[in-house]
Structure 1
Amino acid sequence: MSQLEPGDVLARRYLLLDPLAHGGMSVIWRAFDQSLHRLVAVKVLTASLHTDHGERVRVRSEARAAARFIHRDSIEIYDYGETVTAKGGVAAYVVMPLLDGTPLAERIAEGPLPWTEAAAIALRLARVLMAGHARGLVHRDVTAENVLLTADGPKLLDFGIAAWAGDPDDDRGTPPYVAPERLLGAPTHPAVDVYALGVLLFAMITGRTPYPETTWEEIEAARRTDPPPRVTGVPHGVASLCQSCLAHLPDERPTAEEIVVSLTSALGTAGIARQVRRGLTVAGSAMLALSVLLWFQRPEPEPVLSPQVTPPSSAPASARVMESSPAVPVTVEQAVDGFHDSLEAGRTCDATDADVVLDLKQVLDHLVRGSAVTDTAELRRKVADRAREGRLAPACRAELLAKLTVIDRAMKPD
């Protein structure tokens, strides 16, 4: 394909302003949509489609499939097209929203990320890949250049040029993220995305990719027989997961779903550890303050109580009130609102996928509206399934189950 320049117009609509990023398969341009009068991002494929009609048909099919794939952490596809450029080349392009953010590659260039931050980014990306793989789509170019860090979290670019699982492999990809089996011409498989995510996780933690090769020629010349390198300074589970993602054989790599489960567990454990350390610090400070107070406080004689006098209760006032008056009953509507609040506004569930939130809310609505239903057993099974899939954090699962207990009590008042 001939080189595009600022000022070129694609399909008499998209005015190219300036290039934003260059990848192994494409160039991203900041562009102006002259029909809708808005700024957009246009990804122009670098491979020429001028003489290969079959390639054009395949790219068009992949773009249509990806356009139907919608995920909160994947960039939406506005448009796809092919056009003859001013210099006679045939350009295939994908139009996407222009988001404000920083490429992950720039963040890695500044130095390694804390392992918790790297794992959180990898977790969000693994969820996108898990959803894509479930639909038969393989990204094929998961790289630091294709991840945009936004105020709403990391976003994965380039699902607009994904492939169907089982398709013949091609030369799309960015060294050194290319899986070894691609050099042998193996069909497209979700394991190539897992390998690339392993490279990305390694790079985020260490500041460098696991292998030094940076071109197709260097990768083809490399003969790797030793086990993949292992990151250090991180929990054992994270180090083992990253190493297994880099396995030479695709069958030895975890699935995207297994990555989600592992990283969710690792981050949940880290969060518990931080809470314990914070609790110990606060408790230690409180004990020190109490010791100082007791040291300087002069003891007073204890009052002598007559047999007729009943000592005041040592329980807090709130507890005494609870003893003397029954608890205010919670209605089913209030209990349901509490469950919704945990899903939508609670801190422990803030990273839950929007489709999971909608699914759980719909199941709950069906339960409370069903006259024959007297408990939340069905929804509890649904929550357990989502947690097993890695789509609910352990803390979120625990909070939701507690809310379901409140709903059960409201549905069966004493």
Structure 2
Amino acid sequence: MSFITDKQTLDDLNITGRFSPQSLFSLFNATRTRGGEKLLDRMFHEPLSDPAAINSRSGVLKYFHERELSFPVSAQVFEDAEAYLGGSTGSSFLAVAGDLLRKKALETAVKDEQYGHLQNGLLATIGMLNALQGFLQKVSDLSTGQFEAVQAALNTHRAKWLQDAPEGQPLSLFQLARYDHLIRHVLREETENILDFMYHLDVYIAVSNVARARGFSYAQALPKEQNIFRTTAVSHPALEKAVANPLTLQEDRNVLFLTGANMAGKSTFMKSLGIAVYLAHMGFPVAAKDMQFSVRDGLYTSINVPDNLNLGYSHFYAEVLRVKKVAEEVAKGHDLLVIFDELFKGTNVKDAYDATLAVTKEFSTYRNSFFVISTHIIEVGDRLKEDCDNLQFSYLPTIMEGTVPRYPYTLTAGITSDRHGMVIIENEKILEMIE
């Protein structure tokens, strides 16, 4: 089963987006090849749901994280080799030699560039393969199926010619025909696998370099049956001075009821948690320390739910439809992480109170999933304390220094009693402006 989510969640958490400079994809996209960038994009759209696969990928990334290695060839050499390998050649040596002889004649007669491009592409490929041979010696203790397959391909007797190939020097027509036939026909499958390995190598190095620079860590994936999430410090990966908070969710405390004033950091905290869980399911580094998590079937958020004027949806109705969508997925028995920021803020306080109370109570009965629900309506928390035994209550405080609010962004046990809205309004002298 694949990890399930939707566009609303990806937009809420700003996960994907190759052309969005603020996305998580852009944060990690330090790749040097087009194939590496495409692979990274695919990884962002295909989180994993198997603990062994997740831990295997994070283990490889951690391996590169600890070694500070560079991509073994320049971007230009790789681009030339990639273009060359993307073409085809004849199925026999004689057919290849005949075609090259024709291209050579055209180069002499009318300055046709095909022969020169072929020569440059093959030389770049030889250079790339030799550089990869040297790189593999640096990571000889890396143990993955893909790594071992590439090593075997380069060490096969059919690839021994590489040791004698004149690197960087023009090839004779006979050499060009021989090597072209070997690389693009005889060893076609092997070279395609090597190219794919280079894309993975690009991603591993790029992602681990970003993680090292930002002080990210690697989470441990656990079987879903353990039903736990814990970290000593989770923060938002895109914020350089983010405040980190601890969090534990488990079967008997699977709902976090979160309160706090606007600007206190509730939305940022919830986004931090959602992002950490999503990246962890990719096997990627996270902005969280000592993180362990039971794999989830999926992740749904409701943070920035837009109205839909074209369909005639008000903001409140859009919220209701969002809750309905998530309820359908929860009712199917999926093990999910669900994040609701300010449930039913598009309606009046009485309806919001009743709806928040009812929805939270119903969701809390599904102890196989984790829920984080925030609200301004703190009175709901008092009723939930009476009616549910599996909720934990936390808030993000506001500290008043005179008439000036300060937000420490530290998760604190309990339900907030902060009511400083009028103080902030008075600070901004709004009432004086309209008198």
TM-score range, shorter chain: under 0.3
Could you state the TM-score of these two structures normalised by the residue count of structure 2? 0.23
Indicate the structure with greater helix content. 2
Give the number of the structure with larger relative contact order, counting CA–CA contacts within 8 Å between residues 6 or more apart. Answer: 2
